[in-house]
Structure 1
């Protein structure tokens, strides 16, 4: 049974996940207003920067040493690339797929890669081997994605001209 601290962490993670569809919808509309989805990506990342800078000042976070960061493994820079890929994909795909279909596909992709990261202990994560229970959970997530996509196609086929 999880303790109160674990439950609080899970609640924060659920909240963080709950705002992701809002980001996709807001950015998709912003892209339309700005005339191109990539401008919405730039604005979104700019707003993120504008919000995080005061937090760095409030927490009195010391300036980092980029020289130290450049000595780290190559994959520490993947976060920025992943952010751009996600934001741009959300801008382009969420309006076409719908919020739920886009997000369930994102979650399925996240879970597949997360399972590999855990299994091999990649990126500094502790190794958590894949087992039957974890594979079953992954199966349900990917299966849920497939069912959600089928549910989207079925009404479209029913309404198609004959």
Structure 2
């Protein structure tokens, strides 16, 4: 089962620049990054609604909304920012630079979340290996970008 998770993570990563390229083309057709991000999220929402209907799960937030802290609901806005940013970045800096820089940001935030065990992530201290990985990643970003 672990290998299935690794393949899923790889596929999700592979889809990111493809989605950015598709959304950037859409932005050119419908006049902007924000409208393109809106369409992307609308189509994604409809696809997830179909999956929920097929699974017989119904509307998931009806029972969770009153019991959840407000900040549980901001993930979608973070996703909207990410998708809009990739729509803007992809045609301007290229897929390689966009992915390298967003990956660097993702890893930096991930290491902070792990180090402090935030948001339910396991506590994984920042150590020399992670520092070396960060330095190598920064070097990779620089090489890809320049």
- Same fold? TM cut 0.5: yes
Equivalent residue in structure 2 for 1:99, among 95, 98, 115: 95
User: Would you say how many aligned residue pairs link Structure 1 and Structure 2?
Assistant: 146
Structure 1's 43 and 100: CA in aligned 2 closer, same or farther, altered over 3 A? Answer: same
1:65: how far off?
4.7
1:136: how far off?
1.5
Structure 1's 51 and 63: CA in aligned 2 closer, same or farther, altered over 3 A? Answer: closer
Rg larger in structure: 1
8 Å contact kept, 2:100–2:141:
yes
Query: The residue matched to 2:126 in structure 1 has which SS?
Result: coil
Alignment correspondent of 2:68: 72
Alignment correspondent of 1:140: 136
Alignment correspondent of 1:19: 15
Alignment correspondent of 2:77: 81
Unaligned runs of 5+ in 1: 151-162
1:78: how far off?
2.7
1:115-147 deviations in Å (ceiling 9; x for gaps):
000110111111111111122222212221112
8 Å contact kept, 2:115–2:126:
yes
> Is 1:111–2:107 an aligned residue pair?
yes
Structure 1's 102 and 34: CA in aligned 2 closer, same or farther, altered over 3 A? Answer: same
> TM-score, normalising length from structure 2?
0.92
1:20-60 deviations in Å (ceiling 9; x for gaps):
00010000010001112211011000110111111101111
Equivalent residue in structure 2 for 1:124, among 114, 117, 120: 120
Alignment correspondent of 2:47: 51
1:103: how far off?
0.7
Unaligned runs of 5+ in 2: none
Alignment correspondent of 1:154: none
> TM-score, normalising length from structure 1?
0.83
Equivalent residue in structure 2 for 1:34, among 20, 30, 33: 30
